[in-house]
A = this chain, B = another copy of it.
Amino acid sequence: MNLTRRNFNRLAITSAATALIPRASAQSSERRLRYAIVGLGRISVNCFMPAIRASSTSEITALVSGSPEKARRLASQYGVPESSIYSYEQFDRIRENAEIDAVYIGLPNGMHAEYTIRAAHAGKHVLCEKPMATTEEEARAMIVACRHARRKLMIGYRCQLEATTLHVKQLIQSGQLGKIHSIESANGFNTPAGEWRLNRKLAGGGPLLDVGIYLLNACRFLLGEEPARVSAFSSVIDRDGRFDQVEETIAWTMKFPTGTIATCSTSYGADMEGFYRIHGSKGVITVQPAFSYLGIRMVGQIGEEPIDDPDKASFPDEFIRETDHFSRCVLEDRQPGPSGEEGLKDMEWIAQIYKSAAAQS
């Protein structure tokens, strides 16, 4: 379990380590997309901001935080003027800041919709972390707000831009794995008490919305089709107060129109290094870790041929790729993907999964 997202966060990325990530060459004369970072939690500070620093397409020109001290410290680190630090109350004033082209939303899930919509109203493009929102209604409102403001909206499904994931998709779509019969998958972690993830208002749901969504999105993305049917069970085993508001463990099965059956398990009660295994008529591949920030690895066999494809990327390449893609799309006026509509699809399926789990409880 050495390469899980959380262990990686805890162990590998210290301020000292992030300081080692090289800045992109200052000599690039191309225009960069200028971001306001909204929310200075782990994913912003440890991943996205270092990625922007290393990117040649992007820069950080503003920070939005509820913690003035943390914001000032990071502003100084990233060369952001004090006048471009905003509290959440002041957020709408980003409209008047011409040095901001876009926002990166790294907030708790329950705040994604509000700040995406406010950003669009302020005339800024939006790169919003997954899950897009906590309900379908919120997701639709976000799409509408960005469309009305003629601003781009992208959802931070890193994996859809990640090399191993794209290799897997190519193996499936080219027919090299044969007909895909089943996918087994899991992703989760043992969540400590007190996290915003356990607060329904902030999180919007339990592990399904936060880490199970990786499995849902991977199955849909890799197979290139939408489920025909879903069925789910959820459960709470630990009666220690952590799970008074959200589910602890949920597993669901999706039957796809071509016949593939995918099973997915997610939990806040057990460390589950993200993995998926794909059984095709011509071969089998396992990706594990499948969703981490580095070290994604595919092993398996197609016919008699063994496969071992460890990702060669280093940290924070995945986030640089994501940043670059969004920035280039905005600068070149192209639609970035994964789109808001893609995020909405997951929200719709998550609603169906919760509905099935409730009906079968």
A residues contacting B by CB (< 8 A) are 1, 178-179, 181-182, 184-186, 188, 190, 229, 231-238, 248-253, 255, 258-261, 263-265, 267, 269-273, 275, 277, 279-281, 284, 301, 360
Contacts and interface: CB of A to CB of B under 8 A. Distances in A.
This protein's copies in its complex: 2
B253 A179 contact: no
A279 B272 CA distance: 7
B360 A229 contact: yes
A251 B254 CA distance: 9
B279 A270 contact: yes
A252 to B, nearest CB: 8
B237 A253 contact: no
20 contacts: A179-B237, A182-B249, A182-B251, A182-B265, A184-B263, A184-B265, A188-B279, A234-B261, A236-B259, A237-B258, A248-B259, A249-B261, A250-B261, A251-B263, A252-B253, A261-B265, A267-B279, A270-B281, A271-B279, A275-B277
Contacts of A188: 181, 279
A178 B265 CA distance: 17
Contacts of A250: 261
Dominant secondary structure of chain A at its interface with chain B: strand
> Which of the listed residues A267, A270, A271 has the most CB atoms from chain B within 10 Å of its own CB?
A270
B1 A181 contact: no
Given A270-B279, A270-B284, A271-B284, 8 more contacts: A182-B249, A182-B270, A188-B279, A229-B360, A235-B260, A251-B253, A261-B265, A275-B277
B263 A259 contact: no
A108 to B, nearest CB: 24
A265 B184 CA distance: 8
Contact of A253 (B181, B231, B248, B301): B231
